[in-house]
Structure 1
Amino acid sequence: MKLYNLKNYCEQINFLKAVKMGLGNNQGLFFPLNLPKIPKKKLQEIIEMDFLTRSVKILSILIGSEIKTSELKKYVKQAFSFPGPKIVPVTKNISCCELFHGPTLAFKDFGARFMAQIISHLNKKNNTTTILTATSGDTGAAVAHAFYKSKNVRVIILYPKGKISTLQEALFCTLGENITTIAIDGSFDECQALVKQAFNDNKLRQETGLNSANSINISRLLAQVCYFFEAYALTKQKKKLVIAVPCGNFGNLTAGLLAKSMGLPIQSFIAATNANDTVPRFLKTGIWNPYNCISTISNAMDISRPNNWPRVTELFSRKKWNLNKLGFGSVSDQITTQTLLDLQKIGYISEPHAAVAYQLLKNQIKKDEFGLFLGTAHPAKFKNIIDKVLNINIPLPKTLAEPSTLPILSHYMKPNFEKLKKFLKS
């Protein structure tokens, strides 16, 4: 698999090197040079496969011969060793695709665990890797658990202090061992900026074996393509399928669009955001104008400078798709709260991120279409909000209950790169 740097088309590398580097020169994202298209007859065969078999097939089509099929099969089996996507009917023509049945109860388990397998593959020669990543909520837990106690891997996770749920924090800030967490006194965008600065320091990268597990890493992105195929396979009404994606860093939407580019017959997508509406405003006006990040109840989407947006525009350009055909919208906290209540009335307990996607899907879907909205995290991860809004006492799964009683092991830091640099070198 050949990939090129979106900021320097001359920088072209293979998949394994792209995973190892994370970002290219000038903080450029890597993007596939070839966009494979699966013939219709072959596509039907692939759709009929079970989730694991199909995932190996899709990833082998994307990655090529760099990893032996026998090894890839082993990595996929170990990475996706938990219940896969589940389709739950919500209304007559809308269902939720629940992606939160993994070990940290979030969709990011798929990408983080596959990346951990690839890093393990790269570390066979006892190389040491420092994973530096920023999280607005769920990435931190998925990455921490995926790499927990991994040999020759040190994980450092930055997160905005006081701006993720207490249960999200407990899930990854209580582990210790090779997992270090730093609460940054600032926004997620500031956490993400620190990660980018670190990657721009070539000397630091070499000294620490720096890598990132954010959705900027191509391994995470390709793993996510697999569950869009599974969502389609599990959906009974496949014609005119519209998928609404809760968007933060836009990695999930990018993966869905890559699945469509491979031939998966998804009619359209809706990019759903909260009040951090940089992309919806751009699609409306053509002007890229990020505002300061706003804290909302859908905190994992509190990102005003989404990293993966250049990949989305690159894909639309390469495929000659019309960007104006991409559905979009933003939802306020007030409407999100009302949507949670509306969903409860029709018998579905959701959480704020999925509620944002459902609200926009419900408003934009046509009578002859069928809609899926992605359930990206278990409602119990937002217990404080859900209990208060829905007037219920949502039970905590064991995965959340146990760490909630443990002490938080985080360090605290101002958003200062020199301090972070010193920390990384220590």
Structure 2
Amino acid sequence: MKLVSTRTPTLSATFQEAVQAGLAPDGGLFVPVTPPHFDDVPDLLRADFASRSVEILYRLLGDELSRSVVEDLTRSAFTFPAPLVRVDGRISALELFHGPTLAFKDFGARFLARVLALGAGGQPRTVLTATSGDTGAAVASAFHGLPGVQVVVLYPAGRVSPMQERQFATCGGNVLALAVEGAFDDCQRLVKGAFEDVELVARLGLTSANSINIARLLAQTLYYFEAAAQAEPGQPLVVSVPSGNFGNLTAGLWAQRMGAPIQAFVAATNANRVVPDYLDSGTYQPRPSVATLSNAMDVGSPSNWERIFALFRGDHGAMAAALRWGSCTDAETEQVVIDLDRTGYLADPHGAVAYQVLRSNLREGEQGIFLATAHPAKFRESLAPALGREIPLPKALRDLEALPLLNESLAVDQAALRRRLL
């Protein structure tokens, strides 16, 4: 698998080079030149998740990593299930929140941590990441306590749920949580600015654990095959992806190119409608993000849209033909959570957005799957008043309540971040 920058197609890298760098030297994102297509997908789908994942990753990375290394990486990273749960007659939820931090980011972060450890060569590393909610928790969990690794998490102060904040801002040790006095887009710009600082990158061994890192996205392709493996045979499959920074949808489109039998993807957003507006109009206009109930999707300038743009070679018509899309207001999100709860299924706000937009895009004879990306208990402060009842906390979250926050405030200032990192 040959990787190149989205901005300079002649700028190539091996997988391990791309993982260690995070961002391409020209500021672009690494993408496969052509995602390989597998001709034996029916056989792959008959395998269990772990065995199938080993096989797919070895086919992608076997020119750099031995099968035994790929097997060790994969089986140690993916130790939890991704069950498909029926929600109504034609729609099911692929629950991706059964990992240690109760969010889908565990798939990518745990795999990334293991790949980074392979290529570090004993050199100290600083993992710098921005989070709109769940990435910070998954990255902190995956790297916490690893020798030679410092983790720095930037997040928008007051714009993640209290439980999400506790998951990464109570770790201490080698995990530093910086509460940025701005929005997620400000955090993302600060991270990108740090990676453009050549001296800083060299001195700290700086790398990224955001979805700009190719290892995160390759790991996320795997559960799209798992969705297809558990789906009803014989019915066209449509998958709805709650979308903020658009890494998850990028991984799904790569999986589709590899042969995952998914007929269509639905790009589901909240009030941050940059991509739906682009698909409607053909004009791409990033804008400041607005705060919503589904906070992990509050992104006004999604980084990974650059990868999707590259995948379709900038052809708006091809993108509009390949995707379905829509958005959901907070009022609609809250009502969907209430309605689903009455049927016996408790959804988090992001899953509720994906369900609602899927329902309006599903056609006759199709089956739908939406990605349930986080445990609803992580959002109990916003969901409990709407539901009129308390939401029980899993033990992993209960244990965090008594821990003190160990965060620091940071202005939206590149020089201030540089000083703190040094």
Same fold, judged at TM 0.5 (above): yes
Report 1:171-320 matches (<5 A): 171-317=167-313
Instruction: Map 1:9-408 to 2 at 5 A.
Output: 9-39=9-39, 42-82=40-80, 84-123=81-120, 125-317=121-313, 322-325=318-321, 326-408=323-405
In 2, the alpha carbon distance for the partners of 1:206 and 1:321 equals 42
Q: Distance in 2 between matches of 1:126 and 1:263?
A: 38
CA distance in 2, matches of 1:265, 1:232: 6
- Structure 1 residues 223 and 270: CA distance shift in structure 2, 3 A: same
Per-residue displacement from partner, 1:364-411 (whole Å, max 9, x unpaired)? 111211000000000000011121111121110011111121000001
Distance 2:389 2:210 in 1: 34
1:54-113 Cα deviation digits (max 9, x unpaired): 00111112223201110110011111112x211111111000110000000000000000
Whole-angstrom CA distance in 2 between matches of 1:379 and 1:237? 29
| 2-structure distance, mates of 1:351, 1:146 | 23
- CA–CA distance in structure 2, aligned partners of residues 238 and 317 of structure 1: 32
TM-score (norm 1): 0.97
Distance in 1, Cα, partners of 2:316 & 2:235: 23
SS in 2 for 1:25: coil
Deviation at 1:321, TM superposition (A): 8.3
Contact 1:56/1:72, CA 8 A, preserved across alignment? yes
Q: State the alpha-carbon separation in 2 of the partners of residues 283 and 298 from structure 1.
A: 21
Output the CA distance in 1 between the equivalents of 2:126 and 2:390: 40
Residues 115-153 of structure 1 deviation map (CA, whole Å, 9 limit, x = unaligned)? 000011112x21111000000000000000000111211
Q: Letter of the aligned partner of 1:201 in structure 2?
A: D
C-alpha spacing 1:238/1:222, structure 2 compared with 1 (3 Å): farther
Q: CA deviation at 1:239?
A: 2.4
The structural deviation recorded for 1:421 is 0.4
TM, length-normalised to structure 2: 0.98
User: Retained in 2: the 8 A contact 1:171–1:404?
Assistant: no
Measured in 2, the distance between the counterparts of 1:298 and 1:228 equals 22
Letter of the 1:279 partner, please give it.
Answer: V
The whole-number CA distance in structure 1 between the counterparts of 2:419 and 2:191 is 14
Query: For residue 410 of structure 2, what is the aligned residue in structure 1?
Result: 413
Contact 2:265 2:324 in 1 (8 A): yes
SS at match of 2:151: strand
Residue 238 of structure 1: how far off its partner (Å): 5.0
CA RMSD, Structure 1 to Structure 2 (Å): 1.3
The alignment-based identity, stated in percent, is: 46
Matched residue of 1:287: which SS?
Answer: coil
After superposing the two structures, state which structure 1 stretch, 317-326 or 84-93, moved more. 317-326
Alpha-carbon distance between aligned partners in 2 of 1:191 and 1:205, rounded to the nearest angstrom: 17
Report the Cα distance in structure 1 between the residues aligned to 2:62 and 2:248, rounded to whole angstroms. Answer: 22
Give 1:317 shift.
3.1
Tell me, in whole angstroms, the C-alpha distance in 1 between the residues paired with 2:224 and 2:147.
31
Which amino acid in the other structure matches residue 36 of structure 2?
A: P
Deviation at 1:318, TM superposition (A): 9.1
Distance in 1 separating the partners of 2:119 and 2:187: 27
- For 2:276, give the aligned amino acid: P
**TM-superposed deviation, 1:25:** 2.0
Q: Tell me which amino acid in the other structure corresponds to 1:61.
A: R
Contact 1:238 1:370 (8 Å CA) reproduced = no
Q: Distance in 2 between matches of 1:267 and 1:238?
A: 12
Structure 2: tracts of 5 or more residues without a match = none
**Alignment coverage as a number of residue pairs:** 421
Cα separation, 2, equivalents of 1:36 and 1:303 = 30
1:345 to partner: Cα distance: 2.0
Instruction: Tell me if structure 1 keeps the 8 A contact 2:36–2:258.
Output: yes
Question: In structure 2, how many angstroms separate the alpha carbons of the residues matched to 1:238 and 1:22?
Answer: 40
Q: Partners in 2 of 1:232 and 1:46 — Cα distance?
A: 10
